[in-house]
């Protein structure tokens, strides 16, 4: 089994992990947060999705390769505004990824949203 690392230069790391891994036709991205994007859920959601787009591009892929998305929210009150940004992001996808979204007790760097994705190539 050959594994390839997917990196995103300049992005802060919050632990000992690889931002993305590509292996045997599958791609996994570590959870993406973007607290630098702003203090509100709209900005942080867009920032996390932008990082996902960049990581996928660095792997020679795009969001169209995604099969599953997991959204972790600091509060379920953020669900509707997150969904607005996410809905725009997947609007041009013929087959949108399966998805789960739920609230968690806390996220790294006090982020409001963290987005994890898996796909194929």
Q: In what order do the strands lie in the sheet with 3-6?
A: 3-6, 20-23, 26-32, 113-120, 66-73, 98-103
Eight-state DSSP code of residue 83: H
What topology is assigned to 3-120 in CATH? Answer: 60s Ribosomal Protein L30; Chain: A; (3.30.1330)
Average pLDDT of the residues in 103-111: 97
Question: What integer pLDDT is reported at residue 40 of this predicted model?
Answer: 98
Pairing of strands 98-103, 66-73: parallel
Domain limits of the chain?
A: 3-120
In tens, the pLDDT along 12-43 reads 899 999 999 999 999 999 999 999 999 999 99
Tell which residue, 17, 32, 51, 56, has the closest CA to residue 112.
32
Span 36-91, pLDDT tens digits: 999 999 999 999 999 999 999 999 999 999 999 999 999 999 999 999 999 999 99
Whether residue 1 has pLDDT greater than 90? no
In the chain, what percentage of residues exceed pLDDT 90?
95
pTM over 0.95: yes
The pLDDT score that the predictor gives to residue 11 is 87
Beta strands in the chain (DSSP E): 3-6, 20-23, 26-32, 66-73, 98-103, 113-120
- Paired tokens of 107: 């996220």
DSSP structural state of residue 37:
G
């Amino acid at each position: 089994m050959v594994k390839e690392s997917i990196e995103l230069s300049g992005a802060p790391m919050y632990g000992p992990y690889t931002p993305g891994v590509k292996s045997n036709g599958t791609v996994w991205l570590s959870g993406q947060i973007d607290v630098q994007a702003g203090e509100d859920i709209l900005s942080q959601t867009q920032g996390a999705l932008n990082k996902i787009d960049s990581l996928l591009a660095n792997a020679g892929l795009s969001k169209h390769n995604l099969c599953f998305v997991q959204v972790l929210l600091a509060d379920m009150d953020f669900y509707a505004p997150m969904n607005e940004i996410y809905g725009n992001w997947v609007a041009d996808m013929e087959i949108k990824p399966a998805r789960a979204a739920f609230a968690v007790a806390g996220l790294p760097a006090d982020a409001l949203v963290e987005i994890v994705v898996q796909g194929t190539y």
